[in-house]
Amino acid sequence: MKYMLIMRATDEAWASMADTDFEKMLETIGRFNDEMIRAGVLLAAEGLDDAAEGVVVDHSSETPVVTDGPYGETKELFGGFYILNVASKEEAIEWAKRAPLTGPGLKTEIRRVTTIDEFPQDNEWIQKERAWREATGQL
């Protein structure tokens, strides 16, 4: 099963990390990533750019409204993610507990990644997506 570990932090947690030595952070995260690679569970891992560089497309009205970052009313920002291939939710939880960036305001959300096999296979759009995934080596 695939699970996504979504790394989230409050504005205060991001601010507290501003003084962290970047090389030390890379080493700490690198060791954790290497551990997951050696265990054979890591499928993908990416960090995200500063939220101030992002935009939001709000579909609440008929015409979508585009707003530059930073986002209004943020309590937590999504800063990066891991995608793991593990046997169970419990195993994903165990990996999340070992994440190296810890402290007040830092959280890891865990969500199962659904597969194309969970959708109606007789649907035209699912069939097109399956063909694309097969052609690109994803299935």
Q: Give yes or no for a contact between 36 and 82, defined as CB atoms under 8 angstroms apart.
A: yes
- Contacts of residue 111, Cβ cutoff 8 Å, sequence gap at least 6: 3, 4, 6
Specify which residues 65 forms β-bridges with: 58
Residue 127 maps to which CATH number? 3.30.70.1060
- Of the listed ranges 28-37, 64-73, 122-131, the least confidently predicted one is 64-73
Domain count, the chain: 1
**pLDDT the model gives residue 74:** 62
Residue-range definition of the domain harbouring residue 37: 2-135
Q: How confident is the model at residue 55 (pLDDT cuts 50, 70, 90)?
A: confident
